[in-house]
Amino acid sequence: MHLHDDEDPHYDDATIQQELQQFMDEWHYRILHSGLALSWDRTQCLRLAIEMFQMHGMEITEEEKESYVAMEDEQEMVAAMVAHYPMAARKTFEHFVLQLQLVVSTTTQVRHALVTGDSQEVARCFEGGETGPGQQILKQCIVEAGRQIHDAVEMHKSWKANTEARIARLNVCQDEAEHARQ
């Protein structure tokens, strides 16, 4: 999509491409800094970034997404992505990218602090009031911890019933063996 006479120059291909490239540079740095690069390869991280832009309105197929991930030249990929960005999404693109950068920055700071075991840094990430990505991350951590506790309790219940029946059966066998031996 190129600039037409009635369009604001802030939404032209070159501007959106520059903003998207800056985001991708920051994304790459944050992935490396957080330690996520130790468990996710480049294509997984790139695929996630592209999926976030799809949620914001970039219109591409799964095949196009996979071809973008496979591209060696990131500038070529960014240009191809911008070509699939409709005007409605371009008008909120800068705000979306800024919000996304804030979330990514906070998330990677928390992840890095957790990986290094720095509890004071983790606490610092969540300071700053009732709003913001830190509080959302904290809420999601609490929800996830609750889910993991529930799963552990359910797992325990499934093994407990089976194990109790097995122990009862083995106790009967032991008693019978003892009786037979006598």
Considering the domain architecture, whether residues 103 and 31 belong to the same structural domain is answered as yes
Considering the domain architecture, whether residues 138 and 104 belong to the same structural domain is answered as no
Answer yes or no: is 121 within a domain. yes
Query: Given pLDDT bands bounded at 50, 70 and 90, which one contains residue 132?
Result: low
Burial of residue 142 (number of CB atoms within 10 Å: 0-12, 13-18, 19+): exposed
Considering the domain architecture, whether residues 40 and 110 belong to the same structural domain is answered as yes
Considering the domain architecture, whether residues 78 and 150 belong to the same structural domain is answered as no
Q: Which domain holds residue 155?
A: 130-182
Instruction: Report the chain's terminal Cα–Cα distance, integer Å.
Output: 92
**pLDDT digit string (tens) for 113-122?**
888 888 888 7
Domain count, the chain: 2
Answer yes or no: is 1 within a domain. no
Query: Given pLDDT bands bounded at 50, 70 and 90, which one contains residue 88?
Result: confident
Strands (E), the chain: none
Are the beta carbons of 152 and 140 closer than 8 angstroms? no
Burial of residue 93 (number of CB atoms within 10 Å: 0-12, 13-18, 19+): buried
Block residue for tokens 């983790």: 122
d(CA 94, CA 19): 7
Considering the domain architecture, whether residues 157 and 85 belong to the same structural domain is answered as no
For residue 59 the two structure tokens come to 């219109």
Domain end (from 80, 106, 125) = 125
Considering the domain architecture, whether residues 28 and 118 belong to the same structural domain is answered as yes
Query: What is the pTM (predicted TM-score) of this model?
Result: 0.57
Give the three-class secondary structure for 149. Answer: helix
Q: Which residue has the higher pLDDT, 140 or 68?
A: 68
Task: Give the Cα-Cα-Cα angle 48, 36, 138 (nearest 5 degrees).
Answer: 85
